[in-house]
Structure 1
Amino acid sequence: MENSLSSPALLEKNSTSGWINGFIGVVIFSGSLPATRLAVLEMSPVFLTVARATIAGLLALCVLLLLKAKRPERAHMVPLMIVSVGVIIGFPLLSALALQYITAAHAIVFLGMLPLTTAIFGVMRGGERPHPVFWLCAIAGSLLVIGFAVAQGLSASPVGDILMLLAVILCGLGYAEGAMLSKTLGGWQVISWALVLSLPVMIPVMCWQFPASVSGIGAPAWLGLAYVSIFSMLIGFIFWYRGLAQGGIAAVGQLQLLQPFFGLALAAVFLHEQVSIGMVGVTVGVILCVAGSKKFSR
C-alpha cells in the first residue's frame, strides 16, 4: 500500500525535476545563436562547428576518465551516433551557415519549431502518446513562428531559412534520441560519449580548417566560440537530457518555446540587433502555448 501511494508522488517529483532541469538547459541554449553569430562574423562556419565539438569533446573525455564512467554498450553506439549527427554536427553546422545569411534574431524565431519536432520524434522513437490537446498547443506555437517567418519575407534569404529549418529537424531528432538513451546511460554520459565518439572526425577537420592567421579574430568571436563549446555543447545538454528523461520528451520539450524569448533579448542586448514588435508578439504567443502543452502533456 505504501508503495502504491508513494508512486504518484514519485512520478510528480520526477516530473517537477524534469521541468526544472529542462528550464536550466533552455536558458543555457538561449545564448547559442547570439554567440554563434558573434563567432561566424570572423570565423568560418565549418571551423566553428568542428572547433566547438573538439573543445567540448576533449573536456568530456577528461570528465569521463576522471569519474571512471562505464563505457557504453554496443547497443548504445547507433543512438549515440544519431545524437552526434543531430546536435553535435548537424544543428551547429547548419545554424552557423544560416547565420551568414540571416540575423540571430531571425534565426532564433525558427527555434519555436523545435518543441514540435522534438515531440514528433519523441512519439516516433520513444513511443510517447500525449493528449490530442497537447498537439493543438504545440502546432499553434509552431504555426505562429512559421507565420512570422513568412510575413518577414522568405524571399529575402531563402537559403538561410532553409538551413535553419533543416537544423531544427536534425536537432529535434538528436534531442529525442539522447533523451531516450539518458534513461539507461545517464544525461551527462550521453552527451559526453557522443562528443568523444565524434573526436576522430572533428580533430582532423579542425586542424584542416584552422585559420591561417588568428590575429584578425577579435575577443568577441573567441568568447562566442568559448560559450558554444563549453555551455551550448556540453553543460546545457547535461541539464537538458536529464530533464527530457525525467519529465518526458514531448512535455519538457515544449520549454523550447521559451528559448526565442531569451534569445531575442540576448541578441538585442549583446548584438544590438533590432527586435521588432512582431518578434515580441510571436514570442509571447508561443510562450502562452507552453502552459497548455504542459497541462495536456500526459
Structure 2
Amino acid sequence: MRTQSSATTPTGIAVTAPRERVRLGTAQAALGVVVFSLTFPATAWGLEGFGPWSLVAVRSVLAALIAGCCLCAAGAPGRQGPLRRIPLPDRRQLPGLAVVAAGVVIGFPLLSTLALKTSTTAHAAVVVGLLPLVTALVAALRTGIRPSRTFWAAALAGAAAVAAFTVQQSGGALTAADGYLFAALLVCAAGYAEGGRLARVMPGWQVIGWALVLCLPLSVPAAALALAYEPVRLTAHSVAGLLWVAVGSQFLGMVMWYRGMAAIGVPKASQLQLAQPLLTLVSSVLLLGEHLTVAAPVTAVAVLVCIAVTQRSRS
C-alpha cells in the first residue's frame, strides 16, 4: 500500500505533507544560512572600494530594485497561476514589515558594516553565534510559543560553544566595535522573528520584498548622499562584495530564510544559524586569508550535535 506524501484541496491546489514540508523548510533555512555565512567576507571585500554608508545604502537600493521587479513580474497582467496578482500588504502587516525593514534591511547591515571597519570577521562572528538564541527568545515573547527545556538547553550549549570559539579566535579582547555588534544582534533578532511570523500569512519572498521596497524613499537619497561624500574605488573585490551582499544576503538569502522559518518555526530555524560562524570562518580563510585554529573541528562537532537536538525537540 503506497503512502501519499501530499493531498489535494477542493480547489485542486496540492498541499505538502507536514513531514515533507519540514524537510523542505529545513533545507531552505539551511541554504539561507550558507548564503548569510558569506556576508561578512563579502562586506570586507566591499569595504575595499566603498565607504560603510555607501555600501549599505547601495546594497539596499540594488536589492530593492530586484525585489520590485520580482513583485511586478509576479503580478503582471495575463500571468496565469496563483502569482498572477500580488496584493499590497494589509495595513495590519505594515508594522511588522517596518520591524523587518528596520532590523534586516537597515539596522543589521549598517551596524555590522560599521563594526567591520575596525573589527575582523572572526570577532564579528560572535554576534552571529549569539543571534539564534536571541532570535528564539524574541520569537517566544512575540508569538507566545514556548520551546521545551531540552530545546533551550541545547540552544544555550550551542551558543556558548560558538561564542567561546569566536572569542578565542579574536584573541579574547573586546573592541570599540562591540557596541555596534550587540546593537546589530538585537535589531536583527527582532527582524528575523517578525519576518518569520509574517511569512506564515504571506510568501516569504514578499516579506523581504516589501520591506526592501518600503525602504526605497530612505535608501535612494541615502545612497546619493553617501556616494557624494565617501570616495569610491571600483575593484573586482569591491564590486563582487557589493553584488553578493545586495543580491544574495539582502534578497535571495532572506527569501530562503523566511520560507524556512515559516515551515519549521522561528526557534528551530534560528538554531541552524549556529553553524554560520564556522562557515564564515572557513570562507574568511578561503577569501580573506585569515588563519583557522585546530579548535574549529571540535566546535563544529559540538554545534552539529546541538543543532540535531534542537531540531528533534518539541515545543
Give the TM-score of the pair, scaled to structure 1: 0.91
Q: Tell me if structure 2 keeps the 8 A contact 1:109–1:279.
A: no
* Greater displacement, 139-148 / 163-172: 139-148
Matching of residues 12-91 of structure 1 within 5 Å: 12-68=19-75, 69-91=86-108
1:174 equivalenced with 2:181 (yes/no): no
1:195 equivalenced with 2:212 (yes/no): yes
The residue that corresponds to 1:222 in the other structure is 239
Gaps of 5+ in 1: none
Q: Tell me if structure 2 keeps the 8 A contact 1:21–1:240.
A: yes
Gaps of 5+ in 2: 8-15, 76-85
Distance 1:191 1:215, change over 3 A: closer
Q: Tell me if structure 2 keeps the 8 A contact 1:52–1:225.
A: yes
Name the structure where helix makes up a greater proportion of residues: 1
Q: SS in structure 2 opposite 1:236?
A: helix
Q: Tell me if structure 1 keeps the 8 A contact 2:98–2:211.
A: yes
1:261 equivalenced with 2:268 (yes/no): no
CA distance in 1, matches of 2:258, 2:55: 23
CA distance in 2, matches of 1:210, 1:284: 44
Identity of aligned residues (%): 36
For 2:47, the aligned partner's letter is V
Report the CA distance between 1:75 and its aligned residue: 0.5
The residue that corresponds to 1:111 in the other structure is 128
For 1:166, the aligned partner's letter is A
Q: Tell me if structure 2 keeps the 8 A contact 1:117–1:169.
A: yes
CA distance in 2, matches of 1:19, 1:221: 32
CA distance in 1, matches of 2:307, 2:156: 11
Could you list the per-position Cα deviations for residues 41-83 of structure 1 after superposition, in whole angstroms to 9, with x for gaps in the alignment? Answer: 3321111111111100011111111111211011111000000
Distance 1:165 1:145, change over 3 A: farther
Report the CA distance between 1:32 and its aligned residue: 0.7
CA distance in 2, matches of 1:124, 1:144: 24
For 2:205, the aligned partner's letter is W
* Greater displacement, 87-96 / 118-127: 118-127
Report the CA distance between 1:207 and its aligned residue: 0.2
Matching of residues 98-247 of structure 1 within 5 Å: 98-151=115-168, 156-210=173-227, 216-247=233-264
Could you list the per-position Cα deviations for residues 242-297 of structure 1 after superposition, in whole angstroms to 9, with x for gaps in the alignment? Answer: 10001011012111011122211111001111122345543442232101111114
CA distance in 1, matches of 2:110, 2:116: 10
Distance 1:105 1:284, change over 3 A: farther
CA distance in 1, matches of 2:6, 2:169: 51
For 1:39, the aligned partner's letter is G
Report the CA distance between 1:150 and its aligned residue: 4.9
Q: Tell me if structure 1 keeps the 8 A contact 2:25–2:262.
A: yes
Report the CA distance between 1:109 and its aligned residue: 3.8
Q: Tell me if structure 2 keeps the 8 A contact 1:250–1:297.
A: no
Q: SS in structure 1 opposite 2:87?
A: coil
Q: SS in structure 2 opposite 1:185?
A: coil
Could you list the per-position Cα deviations for residues 77-96 of structure 1 after superposition, in whole angstroms to 9, with x for gaps in the alignment? Answer: 10000000100011101110
